[in-house]
Each structure stands twice: as structure tokens, then as C-alpha cells.
Chain A
């Protein structure tokens, strides 16, 4: 691999991403863990920028780091579940974790170095690749049905959340169709 500025930046960012992930796992405070996860998401979005996918990078920050993690933090703070109790997990937990992690690293290494599936280098892409225009064309022409189905699914989930959070009093007053 030629050593240029991009390579240096890549390894710096990779170290940050791994550091954030380790911090997320090791910290005993749920709020700190959530913040490490936000940092991880931010670094991953920079990786998307490197891969010529600016749209996905921005959506990654807006949706995951911005919206979803704020809700996570909200829940952690409101429930007062910041501090984890130590020593709850048994010894077989860590043993299992080590075995699974070793297996995962093995599969990754096989795919990356021996299988021949992984590309040697990133292919050169046209200008405009990964930009909003091409992505929109693909989403709304080639993949229109999956896109609309996903939005329907999200709508159902949203309505479900609204219905579940209404308490019994307002539900009985809502109409004859509502459960008592």
C-alpha cells in the first residue's frame, strides 16, 4: 500500500474508531458508553466520505449520531440507569466471548486474505458516484417498491408507538372501537 496522506488519515481514524469501540465496551457508565458510540458513528461517517459516499456519510451522522443516540441518552437519563452493577456476568460469559471473537476474526481474515472475494484495491468511481442525485434516481426508480414498503413499515411502527403510549383512560374515551 503506498504511503500517502489518505493512508495516514485512514489509520488515525481507524485507531480512533477502535478506541471508541473499546471505550464503549469498558466504561462502567452508560452515558459515557453512549458518547463513545456517538464518536464511533462520527468516525465511521468519515470512512464513508473516504469511500466517495458523501450522502451516506451525512445521513449516518444525522440519523444515528444525531437522532437515535439522542433518544438513547434521553432514555438512560430519564430512567437513571447510568451506573452498571459490576461482576454480574459469569465466567462462562467471557469464555464464550473470547471464542466467538476469535471465530469472527478468523472468518474476517480468511475472507480478506485467502478467499479472493475481497478486492485488492478500491475501484475508481465516476464523478457524482454516491451523491444525492444518483442515489435518488436509484431509490425512486430501480428500488421504488422496497423504499415505499420500508416507509410504510416505519409509519406502522410510529402509529404503534403512539397507540401503545396512550393510557387506558384516553383510550376508552377515544371511541367505540377502542379497548376498555
Chain B
């Protein structure tokens, strides 16, 4: 118990740092999204407030603070107020187990203010500290459990608004998130097996030579698609399809409560990008990162930025999937693929011969399933064509 307070203080400082970075990242992510989407669609985007429009997020925040906050008459008031909070908190805490750099010496403390002759803190000291809030042996499970809690905010917002559009948006999103959680959970099994650990630090260390995206291309693709669906991003942004549902689950929200939902969406994007970079792109690893810890953080941020740019790119160039197609993709394509990926990875870790046999068997099953699907499709299309022709003849 004698080292209780230093641990608490260190964790508190790191938590404040993470939340500060995420909040700033959120503000500039909204700006980046508008500027990059404009670039891709040959428009200008917001460029009036400050140099290159860099103060636009600040202006937006001030506008949102002064907006009127409405609570619908039929709403369940307590849950209506709680829903944005329940949405934001999982987004903020999900990165607690992700390391953002190697173990680094940190120098502290003794700050002297010259004019006042005051010295703060005890002796000057140096501690070795891992750059990351927590290294727990169930890190990846923690991420999955926080992701599964994130569904509540959206569902409760939809239900408590007493609005049929919000309700439909909430129900759609919960169905979508629950469905894609399966493929998400299975796609991270590959990195766990390769690193032989669920700790995010061990997973990063296991990628010191080769990134896992090389061994796990299918797993990485499934993970990326499933996380896009999990954070309700285009082309999976069904829950807030404007043309059908006005604004989905946050139809009745305004002012700061609306901006909390907005904030949660963007922070979740940053979070899943960080997790993707950690699992498949080597985390903070890069040339010279072990010697210069700050360089490791820079690599990590660069990888996150690349992933975020790709998300914006997808959103501004791809149409939204239809709801039944979205569900079919999750259940009939991503889930079997993720299962097959787990089996193949396990076989490859044991033996080359077993790997060849498993791949052969899976290819056979795939061909048979595709043939059966194509045959059924042709048969039903033929049936439909016959029905369509019959009144004409």
C-alpha cells in the first residue's frame, strides 16, 4: 500500500492526457472530415474562421453551447438525459489499455517559480514508465466488453425520445451493432493467437519484425469493416439514414446533448483506428522508435491519422448499404469468413501440412456453398421470370 498514491497520480495524469488528446482530436476530426470530404468532391470546405479555417471547431462549439436544449414532452426525462453520457463514456475509456509508446524515462518534478521563490514538489527524480495507461492481461477482452456496453446509449436515446423515427434508428443500430460484434470478436482472435497474449502491450511487442496485417490480411479487413459498422460510419451508417429516419436515434436531441453524440461518434472513430493500428499495423513500432519514445508516439499518431483519412475517404465516395444487405454482409459473409480465418490461423500455427489440408477443405466447402447459392439464385430467378411472363402471355 505504500506505493498507492504514486500509482494513482501517474494513472490520473495519463488519463487526463488521453482525454485531452481525444477531445482535441474530436474537434479537429470534424474539421478534417469537412475539409477532406470537400477536397475529394472538389469543393472548398470551411475556410473562413481563422487561417485555413482552423478555428472552425471552436466556432462550432460556441454555437452549440448557445443552442436551445429541448426535451420532448413524452420523453422519459432521466434516461433522455443519461443517454448521451452513456454514449460518451465507453468511447472515452476504450483506449485505456492501448499503449501509445515504449517504456520511457520521465523526469520530474521540482518546479521552481523564480519570481515568487516557491518550489513545488519533492526531489527531482526519474521514473521508467510505460507510455500507456494500463497493461492488463485481458486487454483485448476489455475492449470488446466496453464496445458491447456502447450499444446502450444509442438504444436508450432512441427509446426515451418518444419519437418513432428515433425509436427505429435506435433499434436498427442495436441490431446492427450486436450482429457485427460477432465478426469483430472473431477477427481479433488471429492477433491473439499470433501474439499468444490478450495484452495489447504483448501484441505490439510481437509485431517488432512483421506487422500482423501481413499474416492476417483477412482478419484485418474483417476487423476494419466490422468496426465501421460498430461506430455507425458510412457505408454502414444505417441508424442515422437521413432519407428514411430524419436523423435516427438523435432526432430529438439539440445543443450540447446532440454534440455529445457527435463527440462520441468521432472519438469512437479515433479509438477504433488506434485499436486497428495496435492490432494489425504494429502500434507505435517503427524505425528508431525504441530509442526515441516520442518518435514511437509520432508513428502511432500517423497510423491513426492514415486510418481516419481512409474512413473519410470511404464516406465521401461510397453510398449507404441497404439494411437487408448490411445484415446479409454481416451474417453471411463476414461471420463465416472470420470463423474460417480463425481455423486457418490455428492450423498454420501448428503445422504446414495441417494448414494445407484445412485450406483445401475450406476452399472445397466454399466452392460447394457458392455453387449451391448460385444454383438456388438461378432457380428462384427463373421462377420469378416465369411469374412475370405469365400475365403477358
Q: Which residues from chain A sit less than 8 Å from chain B, CB to CB?
A: 4-5, 29, 31-32, 35, 38, 54-55, 57-59, 61-62, 65-67, 70-71, 73-74, 77-78, 128, 131-133
Chain B residues closer than 8 Å to A29, beta-carbon distance: 76
Query: Residues of B with Cβ closer than 8 Å to A?
Result: 1, 4, 76, 78-79, 136-138, 141-142, 144-149, 151-152, 155-156, 159, 167, 171, 174-175, 178, 181, 198
A62 lies within 8 A of B79 (CB): no
A29 to B79, CA, bound (A): 12
Q: How far is the CA of A13 from the CA of B148 in the complex (A)?
A: 22
Chain A residues closer than 8 Å to B174, beta-carbon distance: 70, 73-74
With contacts defined as CB atoms under 8 Å apart, how many contacts are there between chain A and chain B in the complex?
A: 75
Which residue of A has the minimal Cβ distance to B192?
A132
Residues on A with beta carbons closer than 8 Å to the beta carbon of B159:
31, 73, 77
Closest 4 CB pairs of A and B: A66-B148, A61-B145, A58-B141, A62-B145
The answer to whether B148 and A67 touch across the interface, beta carbons within 8 angstroms, is: yes
Determine the distance from Cα of A59 to Cα of B138 in the docked complex, in whole angstroms.
10
Q: Name which residue of chain B comes closest to A66, CB basis.
A: B148
Q: How far is the CB of A76 from chain B (nearest CB, A)?
A: 9
Chain B residues lying within 8 Å of A132, measured Cβ to Cβ, are 137-138, 141, 198
CA of A71 to CA of B181 in the docked complex: distance in angstroms? 14
Minimum CB–CB distance from A30 to chain B (whole Å) comes to 11
* Contact of A131 with B1 in the complex, beta carbons under 8 Å: no
Rounded to whole angstroms, the CA-CA distance of A169 and B309 in the bound complex is 47
Q: Given A131-B138, A132-B198, verify A58-B148 contact (CB < 8 Å).
A: no
Q: Are A54 and B138 in contact (CB under 8 A)?
A: yes
The residues of B that contact A71 with a CB separation of less than 8 Å are 178
Contact among A38, A55, A66 for B138, CB-based, below 8 A: A55
- Given contact pairs A58-B144, A71-B178, A74-B171, enumerate 4 new A-B contacts (beta carbons under 8 Å): A35-B79, A58-B142, A58-B145, A132-B138
CB <8 Å contact, A131 and B137 = yes
Decide: B138 and A65 in contact? CB cutoff 8 A.
no
Which of A5, A32, A73 interacts with B1 by CB under 8 Å? A5
Q: A55-B141, A131-B138 are in contact. Are A38 and B152 (CB under 8 A)?
A: yes
CA distance A4 to B138 in the complex (A): 26
A4 to B1, CA, bound (A): 8
**Which residue from chain A places its CB closest to the CB of B143 in the assembled complex?**
A58
**Of B76, B78, B151, the contact of A70 (CB 8 Å cutoff):** B151
